[in-house]
A and B are shown apart, each in its own frame.
Chain A
Amino acid sequence: MNRRSLILGLSACVVVFFLLSLLTGPASYGPIDSLRALVVGGDEAAAIILREIRLPRALLGLMVGFALGASGAALQGFLRNPLAEPGIIGVSASASLGAVTVFYSGLAGASMLALPAGALVGAVASVLLLLGIAARHGSTLTLILSGVALSSLAGALTSLALNLSPNPFASYEIIFWLLGSLKDRSMVHVAIALPLMAAGAALLFASSRALDALTLGEESAASLGIDLRRARLFVVGGVALMVGAATAVAGAIGFVGLVMPHLVRPLTDRMPGSLILPAGLGGAALLLAADVSVRVAIPARELNVGVLTALIGAPFFLWLVARTRREAF
């Protein structure tokens, strides 16, 4: 499949699921009425529901899905490892820890912004730590191992917070948040995430050539004129911005970043640099579709979308691993 038709096809999927997401919800309006309410206003209740509840939800689905898919593709390319995913450098776990700390301290009740702010602080702290270690030792292996260690530490501290939690309701809220969801978000969340994700995406796209060259290993890439230190900074920084922002507004949503690059890679020329955009679009379509499904499947007791992506993603990934030999990646 050539690149243009792949991008067009995936964009069409994104548009379809975006519209479906706008049209799905407990309040039933016809598609025409809904879109009119969204664009020109009209029926006041419908306009509020569309503009302040469904639009932010659909926008966040698109943005978070794109961020996860694109980050997964960039990290797999950078680490030359098909098993890499945004979680591997510890950013999502640290962002979760930041958010959990906010819950635990009771600040969450003070302001709607406290939670995403806490998650961002966690993400930024982990990245600074990671880059500090990577700058001193400078190998990709150090980066992975530090990320894994950081991830475990953040996970352990999150468990500690749960363990010490003063009341069961706080624990319940923390666990629920950790499952990942796009429910009840506002345009404020969109405004928080959008600039960070845009900056992150710019960093990742700027690294595409370095990712291509890294196919040949670090020494060859360096001899091709790639500044490895800069590439590392851009990829880690870009992934941190995108995943940190995604976790801040939607909690931890797994498997999109791991699975999506594998799904679209066979449809591309397999150059790691040119995989970022299709993987991002695919991630957006997948998360929007998943978010529509959780609303349609059990309307009364809505699932968290992170639960659904993990439920579908993990067995799918297992199937993928069993089916394809190592060479096919």
Chain B
Amino acid sequence: MRLSTTNLSIELSGRKVLDRVSIDLQPGEVVGLLGPNGAGKSTLMRALASLLETPDVLLGDRALSTLASGERARKIAFLPQEKTIGWALAVRQLVMLGRIPWRAFGQKPSVADEATAAEAMRLLDVDGLAERPATQLSGGEQARVLAARAVAQDTPFLIADEPASGLDPAHQILMMQAFRAVAGKGRCVLVSLHDLTLAARWCDRVVVLDGGRVAADGEPGKVLDADLLRSVYGVTAHVAHEAGKLVLAPLALSDGGRP
């Protein structure tokens, strides 16, 4: 099954945020969504997660908006950028919230639910925090717990909006490894990132947005180069190869000007 949209345009408060964007997500791949602030990444992700009322997103050959909300929640998980934890739930319970779409109303979590949540916590390295109140964790720990919640939803598509921001390098890699493991089970992960090297090393494909349009779409090694970074981000960058994978380090603003 594919999640796709063709020539999607979205206006918010009179401003064109997405302009004829086409994207096609396939099972088994980790897709990085790149682009400067305000390029439309979050809006595109919200549209793909069916949080905006747009009829133009297709799941398989069905319009996503025609799916019942419960059915949709078993297909697509969404991890928003804002890290909201309302009450001091134990980490274990918070991750278990991801199993809500799989249970009938009033039904207790099954053994399978527990196992899926435990697996998600292991992937994100938060299984040691299971009994801690989630509100008392550090920002990085909370980010991983919330990611574990989304992984526990165990959907064919996982859409994560800047999940690695605020994480230390080791946990950034851990999170990308977790997404690779999810994709390894035939799932698809769409993840927005600002760390170019992280995207280049861990994503099968990157989609680069610029001013609401797709500036590039393809394997990182083929589309990420100094020219693209200059035109999209307005930076000069050191581009090197390390064990067959790209390393990209932004150095300065190009043209000595503004981004």
Contact = CB atoms under 8 A, between A and B. Distances in A.
- Residue in B74, B85, B87 whose Cβ sees the most chain A Cβ within 10 Å: B87
A100 to B, nearest CB: 36
Interface in A162-214: 206, 209, 212-214
A225 B100 contact: yes
B80 A327 contact: no
B86 A223 contact: no
Contacts of A220: 78-80, 84, 149
Contact of B51 (A80, A223, A269): A223
Interface residues of A, number: 25
Contact of A217 (B72, B76, B84): B84
Given A219-B78, A223-B76, A269-B93, A329 B87 contact: yes
B28 to A, nearest CB: 22
Contacts of A270: 87-90, 93, 133
A328 B100 CA distance: 25
B94 interface: yes
Contacts of B79: 220
Interface string B82-118: 1011111110011001101100010000000000000
Contacts of B70: 225
B136 A209 contact: no
B146 interface: yes
A31 B100 CA distance: 49
Interface string B34-73: 0000000000001001110000000000000000011111
A80 B82 CA distance: 15
B29 to A, nearest CB: 20
Interface string B134-176: 0110000000001001000100000000000000000000000
Contact of A224 (B86, B90, B94, B100): B100
A225 B146 contact: no
B146 A216 contact: yes
Contact of A215 (B50, B87, B136): B87
A99 to B, nearest CB: 35
Interface string A274-288: 000000000000000
Given A212-B100, A225-B70, A272 B87 contact: yes
Given A220-B84, A270-B87, A209 B51 contact: no
A269 B93 CA distance: 9
B77 interface: yes
Contacts of A225: 69-74, 100-101
- Interface centre among A206, A213, A216, A222, by most chain B C-beta atoms within 10 angstroms, is A216
Contact of B133 (A209, A212, A227, A327): A327
A219 B93 contact: no
Contact of A209 (B77, B78, B100): B100
A271 interface: yes
Contacts of B88: 270, 327-329
B98 to A, nearest CB: 7
Please indicate which of the listed interface residues A209, A219, A225, A272 has the most CB atoms of chain B within 10 Å of its own CB: A225
Contacts of A144: none
Contacts of A213: 97, 100
Contacts of A49: none
A223 B46 CA distance: 10
B48 to A, nearest CB: 11
B86 to A, nearest CB: 4
Contacts of A222: 51, 69
A329 B51 CA distance: 29
Interface of B: 46, 49-51, 69-74, 76-80, 82, 84-90, 93-94, 97-98, 100-101, 105, 133, 135-136, 146, 149, 153
Interface of A: 77, 80, 206, 209, 212-217, 219-220, 222-227, 269-272, 327-329
Given A269-B90, A269-B93, 14 more contacts: A80-B87, A212-B100, A217-B84, A219-B51, A223-B49, A223-B50, A223-B76, A223-B77, A224-B73, A225-B69, A225-B74, A270-B90, A327-B88, A329-B88
27 contacts: A206-B105, A212-B97, A213-B97, A214-B86, A215-B85, A215-B94, A216-B86, A216-B94, A216-B149, A217-B84, A219-B46, A219-B51, A219-B78, A220-B78, A222-B51, A224-B97, A225-B69, A225-B72, A225-B74, A225-B101, A226-B69, A269-B89, A270-B87, A270-B89, A270-B90, A327-B133, A328-B88
